[in-house]
Structure 1
């Protein structure tokens, strides 16, 4: 009932005469309401936090106008009796604030009126009008965004209903504020008219009804009229400031004072203020006793804010008791693709207090692999494992172990790369160490104490620390399984980057005819075959051309490999260097192609004895050549032979005859399937060394592989 009773009281003030004491009480209430409204407006974090402001502004304006009517009645009826007859509030404003000089009071009232109408009210009204227009123009888009979110399942029906309610309230609020700003403007105009009525009527009543002279009537009634106008104008100015503060607010987590204070707390803005004030204070004509203390105060503010900015920020988070029955998804799933597990004896390798050498090595691995593969590898996770031994480590890819090893912390691994003149276990060298094998390349090695490093290096060993052993082993195994590191997210990043430079090339591949999943499958197969994506444009160009002739998976891979054969050969030899080649005997190759076919893949199945022969002869050729060799086969046999050798020898490159560049010089180091190696034999179709013809090489024209 408070609001209806209050509205009724406003009409009583306008119609019925009230005693001066009650009028003074209402004047105090009017000022208190204006101050309270201003404080609520300043403390609101967002305009909608004070959504009732337009209605409050209406009631406050009505109260002020009702008080103006009541005070006018008292001034005109009892003004001839003296200033106290109109109430102490009006007398105080008329006598004390303007020193009893009604001319000064008129000027002060005029200035306040100008500030209220022309500056604050006009600006707030313009802001309200523009804000209402923008909010109403954006309303359909916000409604469509809510509908799209609920259609996509991003929000529930209750959340959508709440967001629609907020959007509606926002539109209603700014629309109401656009009209409510007219209340403030109308109130200022009404105050000016009421002042004029009080002055004219006071002159007339004082001289006609009460027999006062013009000077007496002017001094008495004008002073009371000015006091009455000032009493009403001060709360009106406070409400105008509140309206302007509301419509000019920007949504923030802080209230207005916190928002302004936080943005003025940057110490860089106060040092120039102190410097400029100090410079002005040094001018002889300036009042130095005012400028120099002000400069000192600004400098003190700068110093205090600077010290506060350098202090570490302490955030007190409320402690919440964990629910023993709650199970989080992070407790039952591991979202990390690559994980490095360490035994408890190796934890010091990732201790930052001990320089964390393994962390630096792992970061180097990610950078190196990312450069070689052409996409950014996800973060590696390092954790201790209670199941592993004290000095054991493991490299996990997708939850499966791809490498495990055992190292000696505090020792160094001296690796024999072929330059040591002695033979394992190197007891004749006088180096006290534990014999082992390098986990990365399976080379013979010794675990030695760090002081023996220089001696071992002099004997031809390559010495590395324990963290390097782990990092190198992880690098080799991840490089072997690198295709598993490529996912749709990485492919999408490659597409976006390449699309900015070659949009037509991407349009020829994705999304038609290849979806993101199909493109990811093809790129993973190419990476598994040794074609990295560090130069993606040639790969996508070959892929686009291959898709013009076929979209069958294996056929696309073979076509791209044939087009990028030079990149495959570069793994074993430069374009000017002779590529050491091993081939299959024609009979052996025919037996493979004419044998059993795997019904699931459609690829030839190699007999166990034949497979053992191929692996043995390829490894022997690698040993004789002292480096990688290429096994050249016919296209239908490439995939089966490559699958055979992939896990058995890492230094053999399996190529089809179509993938060998025509300009690449070759050197045949063996033919598998003959009783003995034929060093001068060269399969039909292979280019001759240094551009020789078959006749110049002394070979028959019909030799086949």
Structure 2
């Protein structure tokens, strides 16, 4: 690599030297051949690449090659004007290639310049400019597509990073090609000027300084000038062609040769038409069949050969496709694939498309990525990817969240408004559209941006629509996290902890507990908003008590008690006094007496009137605490905790039910209410 770098550095130094130091004619001849070789090599590489980024160094290389060619022009001009000689290569192009005829040489040179400057260079410049503009315009859409594929789980973060880098490099490449095409245009103009300078000043120098007759000086310097012009225009034409090929490559399946032969010869019947036309041209015009018959016959033969091959292939392909379609109709997989249900789906009406469109400032995709990370930290659960799609069946400003195909929440957003939640005392000066905050069911108003500052002054909590919907999504997923934890997800968690605690995992599963039993324990914890992130403690507890009982309800209680410090910190952070609603001994005795033990587990069986009275008492205490702006927590003895939870789960799912064994000994508990019945 160091040797290759050194060669490039020496080449740049050589270019600078050509501009300053007179080179011998033999060295100039070698460098002219090198120039033609490099141009031909670049042309062949541009034809054999399948996409422009495979030749991403082309813009910089184009500048160096152009500078090299101009350096050669300067050196040959110096040699022609000072010595009347520019080496064997220039002399050969001036005499042999054009037959020593100056007029013919000038005509050929002018034609080459016109082809290079007007046809190829101008077209390449325009294509580069348009490609650069369209690539930059399409860049946000491509980035959004990558983010959508990442959130949908179709690609990994590594693949997304590679695709983003490719999009960025593509934009940089076409931007650079837009500027590099100006080099080719400037090189063509410089070639014309240098040729005119050589021709005019060569005649003057030959007649005045070298003492040659004007006719001889004109002939000699004209041949050298034309030879120098042609020997420099040929590689310039090759480089210009390579530039045009690079910037016009689009929707390519292979290199240029494969694309041309595949697409140009994909219609063999057109060869019949072309061949027949050429033959008729020779028969009906003075051109003669001697020239047209071989060409037309060759095209007819090619069309015949190509028509025969596709017919066989087409018949075979039809048979294969028929067999495949028959197999697919008989195969159950063709129906089974339709049964897949996304774990989490977020659908919205067309009016909320700006939420997910990064071109319009939407950041919903980024917010969902952050939600998944946040819930992974809070709950210890890897949340599945959220499938995001628009749904024309919904109202324009409506959205809904589905978990495993079932609708769990629905809401409505006004993108040009803010959601203002009342501090408790509403102010009549705050005008807006009355609504309900979707996450917690609080009364709120949709207000315009003009009212935002005034609402904040009066103590309203003002939230923008993206924050409203992201909070709603977070709370719904947290409330239903237990439904997202199946056996497959549990197995992934087990494999994860096994990497660090292999002995611990082996002691728990597959004996005495199966993956399904562990999943039930973890699901019960998540159902009551207890994080399962501390898997080592959970598995330590399961290892201790899994041999004693396989009742997942009892195992869950043991695990909760082992997580006492975590649960205490969850409800009483910083040593704060914990205000709770205690359950009276009378109710605990009623519940304990109502526990029925069967071979399938224990369940609670009490009189419906008694259970109704208990629920009414809890509701009264919860309402009283809510008026005091306190979070209600019910505290009871460990023996009846899970049964009280079973009793209250349907009516008060958000109220935590704790036992005395789930609280740290150093936490201060204050009873602000007692659940009791007459």
Normalization by structure 2: what TM-score?
Answer: 0.52
Shift of 1:273: 4.6
- Give unpaired runs (5+ residues) of structure 1: 1-266, 676-705
Shift of 1:559: 1.1
SS at match of 2:421: strand
- Is 1:633 aligned to 2:636, yes or no? yes
Find the counterpart in structure 2 of residue 215 from structure 1. none
Shift of 1:517: 2.9
Correspondence 1:484-503 to 2 at 5 A: 484-503=483-502
Q: Decide whether the 8 Å contact of 1:598 with 1:605 is kept in 2.
A: no
CA gap of 1:455–1:624, structure 2 versus 1, over 3 A, is closer
SS at match of 1:629: coil
SS at match of 1:602: strand
Q: Decide whether the 8 Å contact of 2:417 with 2:448 is kept in 1.
A: yes
Find the counterpart in structure 1 of residue 91 from structure 2. none
CA gap of 1:562–1:433, structure 2 versus 1, over 3 A, is same
Find the counterpart in structure 1 of residue 603 from structure 2. 603
* CA shift digits 1:178-229 (9 cap, x unpaired): xxxxxxxxxxxxxxxxxxxxxxxxxxxxxxxxxxxxxxxxxxxxxxxxxxxx
Find the counterpart in structure 2 of residue 306 from structure 1. 56
Find the counterpart in structure 1 of residue 416 from structure 2. 410
Shift of 1:370: 1.8
Find the counterpart in structure 2 of residue 275 from structure 1. 9
Correspondence 1:11-30 to 2 at 5 A: none
1: CA distance between counterparts of 2:35 and 2:574? Answer: 74
Find the counterpart in structure 2 of residue 333 from structure 1. 339
1: CA distance between counterparts of 2:537 and 2:548? Answer: 18
- Is 1:398 aligned to 2:404, yes or no? yes
- Give unpaired runs (5+ residues) of structure 2: 47-54, 59-169, 175-248, 255-262, 264-316
1: CA distance between counterparts of 2:485 and 2:575? Answer: 33
Find the counterpart in structure 2 of residue 525 from structure 1. 524
Shift of 1:380: 0.5
* CA shift digits 1:605-633 (9 cap, x unpaired): 45342243243134134315523233122
Correspondence 1:275-424 to 2 at 5 A: 275=9, 289=28, 290=30, 294=34, 301=42, 305-306=55-56, 310=173, 314=251, 328=334, 332-416=338-422, 419-420=423-424, 422-423=425-426
CA gap of 1:615–1:671, structure 2 versus 1, over 3 A, is closer
CA gap of 1:512–1:612, structure 2 versus 1, over 3 A, is closer
Shift of 1:557: 1.2
2: CA distance between counterparts of 1:315 and 1:523? Answer: 52
Q: Decide whether the 8 Å contact of 1:438 with 1:444 is kept in 2.
A: yes
* CA shift digits 1:644-696 (9 cap, x unpaired): 43344455321223323222221111111167xxxxxxxxxxxxxxxxxxxxx
2: CA distance between counterparts of 1:373 and 1:540? Answer: 16
Q: Decide whether the 8 Å contact of 1:347 with 1:384 is kept in 2.
A: yes
Number of aligned residue pairs: give it: 402
2: CA distance between counterparts of 1:551 and 1:545? Answer: 12
Greater alpha carbon shift after TM alignment, 637-646 vs 303-312? 303-312
CA gap of 1:307–1:586, structure 2 versus 1, over 3 A, is same
1: CA distance between counterparts of 2:653 and 2:616? Answer: 17
2: CA distance between counterparts of 1:513 and 1:280? Answer: 79
Q: Decide whether the 8 Å contact of 2:595 with 2:602 is kept in 1.
A: no
2: CA distance between counterparts of 1:435 and 1:459? Answer: 17
2: CA distance between counterparts of 1:634 and 1:461? Answer: 41
2: CA distance between counterparts of 1:572 and 1:495? Answer: 28
2: CA distance between counterparts of 1:605 and 1:390? Answer: 48
CA gap of 1:635–1:313, structure 2 versus 1, over 3 A, is farther
Find the counterpart in structure 2 of residue 544 from structure 1. 543
2: CA distance between counterparts of 1:279 and 1:346? Answer: 60
Shift of 1:456: 1.0
Q: Decide whether the 8 Å contact of 2:342 with 2:404 is kept in 1.
A: yes
Find the counterpart in structure 1 of residue 615 from structure 2. 612
Q: Decide whether the 8 Å contact of 1:628 with 1:651 is kept in 2.
A: no
SS at match of 1:396: strand
Q: Decide whether the 8 Å contact of 2:478 with 2:529 is kept in 1.
A: no
Normalization by structure 1: what TM-score?
Answer: 0.50
2: CA distance between counterparts of 1:268 and 1:472? Answer: 56
CA gap of 1:370–1:272, structure 2 versus 1, over 3 A, is farther
Q: Greater RCO between the two (CA within 8 Å, min separation 6)?
A: 2
Q: Decide whether the 8 Å contact of 1:603 with 1:639 is kept in 2.
A: no
Shift of 1:313: 6.9
Shift of 1:384: 2.4
2: CA distance between counterparts of 1:371 and 1:404? Answer: 26
1: CA distance between counterparts of 2:625 and 2:601? Answer: 30
Aligned-CA RMSD value: 4.0
Find the counterpart in structure 2 of residue 452 from structure 1. 451
Q: Decide whether the 8 Å contact of 1:605 with 1:640 is kept in 2.
A: no
Q: Decide whether the 8 Å contact of 2:528 with 2:656 is kept in 1.
A: no
Correspondence 1:576-595 to 2 at 5 A: 576-595=575-594
Correspondence 1:665-684 to 2 at 5 A: 665-673=668-676
Q: Decide whether the 8 Å contact of 1:627 with 1:651 is kept in 2.
A: no
* CA shift digits 1:464-522 (9 cap, x unpaired): 12222222112111101111222334333333332222222222223333333332222
Higher helix share goes to which structure? 2
2: CA distance between counterparts of 1:291 and 1:410? Answer: 68
Shift of 1:269: 11
1: CA distance between counterparts of 2:416 and 2:466? Answer: 10
